[in-house]
């Protein structure tokens, strides 16, 4: 059994890795001319911190994940950033990234367990279901008296789904203080800004009113700020409340013409746009798949 790479990479290595993952994202989406680059780019720092600093996992990957942390992606459309992270963390060969969204591949448009891709424990894509699944896993960890943490990421537009709030009530009622939900608060959804489409008012007040311990990360695209959010969130474990990180990110972060607009939610770059993006995504060390 091999243990995770947690805490073995330096800050500069993690910065390079972040750039590498951004390159993967735009190349994957360009390669098949479909997929969701905006939210993927905005969550790179979350995934890098999760898989390379905080998540405790072992190889070979198992569905049951006994005595290890678990991660569930609820907003499954940002699969490119997850697939890239998993490949770069060694869950599967990075050459497989070239099969994204292609026929007979395991890297489905939205993540699935159907094709046995290591790292994936639930299908997601139809929004609003991931917090419930993670809460179920958190109950299982409690029943097994494990110290492990269950993580889940959701979008902010996704919080318009009612099931999210069913799960929020449940997790607080059951005192699931081993559950850390992160909301990717990029303020955008397909049809436009969240505040315009279906405003959510104060998410911090909402989650606190539901009985959660909330912390706000205002710099969700800063590696160290996100790292600090994880550290703080983990320090809240075992205090009787589920934990929520309200992580403010910029959709499309890292590629200037994709940043801050809902227009790059689910649109692929053309050849010129890809090159323009890659020209911005350079570092000392990268090896494209």
167 contributes a contact to other proteins by CB under 8 A: yes
d(CA 26, CA 255): 9
162 contributes a contact to other proteins by CB under 8 A: yes
121 contributes a contact to other proteins by CB under 8 A: yes
Q: For other proteins, which stretch binds (CB under 8 A), given 2-10, 109-117, 207-215, 250-258?
A: 109-117
**Which lies closer to other proteins via its Cβ, residue 141 or residue 262?**
141
**Which lies closer to other proteins via its Cβ, residue 102 or residue 173?**
173
Q: Which long-range contacts (CB under 8 A, 24 or more apart) does 203-209 make?
A: 203/156, 203/159, 203/246, 204/246, 207/168, 207/244, 207/246
**Which lies closer to other proteins via its Cβ, residue 71 or residue 264?**
71
Q: For other proteins, which stretch binds (CB under 8 A), given 34-42, 134-142, 196-204, 226-234?
A: 134-142
d(CA 127, CA 44): 20
**Which lies closer to other proteins via its Cβ, residue 42 or residue 109?**
109
Q: How far apart are the first and last CA of the chain?
A: 26
d(CA 194, CA 186): 9
**Which lies closer to other proteins via its Cβ, residue 65 or residue 80?**
65
Among the listed residues 1, 95, 103, 143, the single contact to other proteins using CB under 8 A: 143
Question: CA–CA distance from 43 to each of 39, 165, 247 (Å)?
Answer: 6, 23, 9
Both tokens of 111, joined, read 């993540």
CB neighbour list of residue 76: distance below 8 Å, 6 or more residues apart: 110, 111, 123, 124, 125, 127, 130
Question: CA–CA distance from 147 to each of 2, 135, 217, 237 (Å)?
Answer: 19, 15, 25, 10
Both tokens of 99, joined, read 């099969």
d(CA 55, CA 246): 19
105 contributes a contact to other proteins by CB under 8 A: no
Torsion on CA atoms 269, 275, 276, 282, rounded to nearest 10: 120
Among the listed residues 132, 182, 221, 273, the single contact to other proteins using CB under 8 A: 132
**Which lies closer to other proteins via its Cβ, residue 18 or residue 182?**
182
196 contributes a contact to other proteins by CB under 8 A: no
* Least distance from other proteins to the Cβ atom of residue 161, Å: 9
Site map for other proteins, 61-80, x if CB under 8 A? --xxxx---x-x--------
Q: What does the binding site for other proteins look like in residue numbers (CB under 8 A)?
A: 63-66, 70, 72, 112-114, 121-126, 128-141, 143-144, 162-163, 166-167, 169-170, 173
């Amino acid at each position: 059994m091999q243990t995770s790479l947690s805490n073995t990479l330096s800050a500069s290595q993690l910065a390079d890795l972040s750039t590498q993952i951004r390159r993967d994202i735009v190349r994957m989406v360009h390669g098949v001319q479909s997929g969701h680059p905006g939210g993927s780019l905005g969550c790179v720092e979350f995934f890098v911190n999760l898989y390379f600093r905080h998540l405790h996992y072992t190889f070979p990957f198992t569905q049951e994940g006994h005595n290890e942390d678990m991660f569930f992606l609820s907003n499954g459309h940002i699969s490119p950033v997850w697939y890239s992270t998993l490949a770069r963390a060694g869950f599967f060969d990075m050459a497989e990234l070239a099969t994204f969204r292609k026929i007979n591949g395991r890297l489905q448009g939205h993540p699935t367990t159907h094709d046995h891709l290591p790292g994936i424990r639930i299908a997601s894509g139809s929004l609003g279901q991931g917090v419930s699944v993670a809460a179920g896993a958190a109950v299982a960890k409690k029943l097994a008296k494990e110290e492990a943490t269950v993580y889940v990421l959701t979008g902010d537009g996704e919080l318009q789904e009612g099931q999210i709030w069913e799960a929020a009530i449940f997790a607080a009622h059951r005192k699931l203080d081993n559950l850390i939900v992160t909301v990717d608060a990029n303020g955008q959804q397909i049809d436009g800004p969240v505040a315009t489409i279906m405003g959510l008012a104060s998410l911090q007040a909402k989650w606190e009113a539901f009985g959660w311990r909330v912390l706000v990360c205002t710099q969700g695209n800063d590696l160290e700020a996100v790292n600090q959010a994880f550290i703080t969130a983990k320090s809240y474990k075992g205090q009787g409340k589920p934990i929520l990180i309200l992580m403010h990110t910029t959709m499309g972060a890292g590629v200037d013409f994709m940043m801050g607009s809902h227009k790059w939610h689910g649109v692929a770059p053309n050849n010129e746009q890809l090159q323009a993006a890659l020209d911005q995504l350079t570092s000392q060390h990268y090896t494209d798949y």
